[in-house]
Amino acid sequence: MTDPQHPDTATDRPDPAEHARWVAVADRVAAQLSSDVVARDRSGAAPHKEVELLRDAGLLPLLIPARNGGHGGSWLTAFEVVTRVGRADTSIGHVLGYHYLHNWRTRLARRLDVVERLATETAANNWLWGGAGNPRDAGLELEPTSGGYLVRGKKFFATGAEVSDRVIASGTDTVTGQKYGFALPTRTAGVVHGEDWDSLGQRASASGSIAFDGAFLAEEDILGPGEQTDPDAPAYPSLSALGFQILLGLLAVATAEGALRFAAEYTRTKSRAWATSGVAEAADDPLVRVRYGELESQVRAARALTDRAGAAWMAAASRGWELTHAERGEVSVELSAVKVVTTRAALDATQGVFELTGARATKTGTGLDRYWRDVRTLTLHDPVSHKAIEVGDHLLRGAYPEPSGYS
């Protein structure tokens, strides 16, 4: 196994024309998702049809380098694509954002030959990536066998895995104790999808369990030592955990933006002015106008902080294996602050819109409630109070959060 020296092309500044092209594609996908999002949210079915929509639109190989047959896009473009999709349907934005991150995570591994092969195959086959890396579950076990390993264990939350083509995970060799990262074909015998996702929000995100019952892992699909959640490993591999944080913050803001746009249109076209407001149209009520202005301002501030943190994360990724733990720590603190601010802004916006749309907007078919349910579910991935402690500890003591699956 050798240390890879490949450049992280996904962190480069995007070509303006290519950026505009893929944002326009994302807008078209978002428009299609919006047409039946309320019904799909209600059914809670795994998003097989929606993944095909993403696949047909050409969005899946966005971050794959051009040398591997992909579009060679940047993270800035990917973030904007996820935002546009997430405003329309947070669940599908979640699946797409995690696909980008899981696929990119392979580039943090040390076996460059495997990394390059998987990138080329992903572009050629238009694969969707999922993950099985919930850090709060017991680790997977790798039992040595001829040509590789048998994978055993279970992860109770694995967003997108059920509808994916490849799943990235890590496990521990039961003989040597060495931890390895690996990429496994999702339809391998012994990979069992629980199809048990039944949540308040993110209903179409395919976030149920995944179990490995002696699934065969070929040696050629081992990415290298499992360093991405090891606090003693180099700083670069642990950027994957921070990638999840930036995407969750991005999705929370995108959902809040979607809720405000939906609610504003409802207020303009359907809400009735209150009898004592002194105006004929609800959108002319000064109390309505000021509250919309407050919520919009709060969400814009959350967006600005999220964008700043995203830029810091991309800059850290561009450092590659030269990234220091102190540089990584600064990004981690920034993302902890993002969690605090985006949680409050998104919850305030997605519940505040009900005050501005009126009682009729609570009808089931309206679908305004899905924004709050999705944000409430997303923001519980790790407790916001602990993120606030991390920010406070840095201010008080100059301390950085210890690298983990969450920070």
332 vs 334: CA distance, rounded Å: 5
112 vs 64: CA distance, rounded Å: 14
For residues 189 and 263, membership in a common domain is answered with no
54-60 own/partner pairs: CB under 8 Å, 24+ apart: 54/29, 54/92, 54/95, 54/96, 54/128, 55/126, 55/128, 57/25, 57/28, 57/29, 58/25, 59/22, 59/25, 59/26, 59/29, 59/96, 60/99, 60/122, 60/126, 60/127, 60/128
Mean pLDDT, the chain cut into blocks of 10 residues (407 residues total): 47 86 98 98 96 98 97 97 98 98 95 97 98 85 98 95 97 96 96 95 96 97 90 91 97 98 98 95 97 98 98 96 97 98 98 96 95 97 95 98 90
For residues 256 and 337, membership in a common domain is answered with yes
Residue that finishes a domain, picked among 128, 159, 175: 128
For residues 348 and 243, membership in a common domain is answered with yes
* Percent of the chain that is helix, strand, coil (3-state, to 5): 55, 15, 30
CATH number, domain of 87, equals: 1.10.540.10
For residues 254 and 221, membership in a common domain is answered with no
Please report whether residue 402 resides in a domain: no
Per-residue tokens: 365 = 């078919």
Q: Which residue in this structure is represented by tokens 């017991």?
A: 138
Q: Is 388 exposed, middle or buried (0-12, 13-18, 19+ CB in 10 A)?
A: middle
For residues 62 and 106, membership in a common domain is answered with yes
Q: What is the pTM of this model?
A: 0.95
Query: What sign does the CA torsion over 12, 30, 203, 371 have?
Result: positive
Residue that finishes a domain, picked among 198, 225, 252: 225
CB atoms near residue 171 (< 10 Å)? 25
For residues 240 and 387, membership in a common domain is answered with yes
Residue that finishes a domain, picked among 204, 225, 246: 225
Please report whether residue 2 resides in a domain: no
Per-residue tokens: 228 = 């991405």
Of 253, 241, 264, the residue nearest 345 (C-alpha) = 253
Please report whether residue 23 resides in a domain: yes
For residues 122 and 144, membership in a common domain is answered with no
255 vs 372: CA distance, rounded Å: 8
Amino acid at 143: E
* Domain encompassing residue 267: 236-397
Please report whether residue 407 resides in a domain: no
Please report whether residue 330 resides in a domain: yes
CATH number, domain of 334, equals: 1.20.140.10
For residues 121 and 136, membership in a common domain is answered with no
CATH number, domain of 173, equals: 2.40.110.10
Amino acid at 391: V
Amino acid at 144: P
pLDDT in the model for residue 11: 58
Structural domains in the chain (count)? 3
Strands 222-225 and 179-185: antiparallel
For residues 90 and 20, membership in a common domain is answered with yes
Please report whether residue 405 resides in a domain: no
Please report whether residue 250 resides in a domain: yes
Please report whether residue 362 resides in a domain: yes
Angle, CA 108 vertex, CA 96 and CA 13 arms, to 5°: 65
For residues 208 and 249, membership in a common domain is answered with no
For residues 150 and 104, membership in a common domain is answered with no
For residues 100 and 143, membership in a common domain is answered with no
